[in-house]
Amino acid sequence: MKLSLALTFITLLSANASSQVNIPGTTLQERIFELNPPVIDSPTMSFSEIRQSILKLNQFIGGYPPSFTNEKERELIYRKWLVLVSEAEAFYTVHNGSEESLYLLSELYRQGHNMDVEGSAEKAFNNLSACLHTFKKSVMCNFSASYFYLSIGPAYLDKAELSLSILKEHFSPNLNSEVESGYVFLHIYRQDIPKAKQQIDFFIQKFPNSSRVAMFENIKQNLGDTIEWKQH
């Protein structure tokens, strides 16, 4: 899963970010979407089908700010997202709160929060809490949790770190690029600049062919002493 963490970082450093009426990095005006998915009795898609569809949407709404070319594309993504929410909610009902069903809802509502769908943040939080309470070592839910908690504010960084540590342990002795990338932003958002720079160097050393290398090199060059957090 790839988040738009580079754009998030740029937003944090922008002196005018708090006064913008457009979605950062776009010409689209901010818009609040309604949470009104159609209700269906049973899912028409399998877990794998729903998950793959969610992953495809990550290129648009996997991180904040979302990535839309124009208003038509944003509306299309919103409609596709609503269909998946209907499927995931039905899947949850049929599968009685399984790890897979809680993961699907966590990811979808995390995406909904990035897209500014009303009520999505609370639903993402509730489904993640339920999943991690019952399935503490869930790889799927801990990935979703690390993304979500890193994006919503400094009060949740300890939760993000816990999920990252569980994931790091899961992949040990190997390293996972998503996990190590998460630690970069954890240190940045904690305003621990020395650790952030150290983690960037570590990431580049271990994943020299990653598409994030150029982004991290740029971030490292522009890191100051403090960072202003812009919560969304």
pLDDT at 211: 93
Alpha carbons 66 and 26: distance in angstroms, whole number: 9
- Find out whether the peptide bond into 66 is cis, omega within 30 degrees of 0: no
pLDDT at 175: 98
Q: Which residues of the chain have pLDDT under 70?
A: 1-21, 23-26, 225-232
Alpha carbons 101 and 212: distance in angstroms, whole number: 31
Alpha carbons 15 and 198: distance in angstroms, whole number: 26
Cβ 104 vs Cβ 52: under 8 Å: no
pLDDT at 10: 39
pLDDT at 13: 40
pLDDT at 7: 39
pLDDT at 232: 57
pLDDT tens across 19-36, in order? 446 766 567 778 898 999
Alpha carbons 172 and 14: distance in angstroms, whole number: 37
The chain-wide mean pLDDT, for the chain, equals 88
Q: What is the 3-state composition of the chain as percent helix, strand, coil, each rounded to the nearest 5?
A: 65, 0, 35
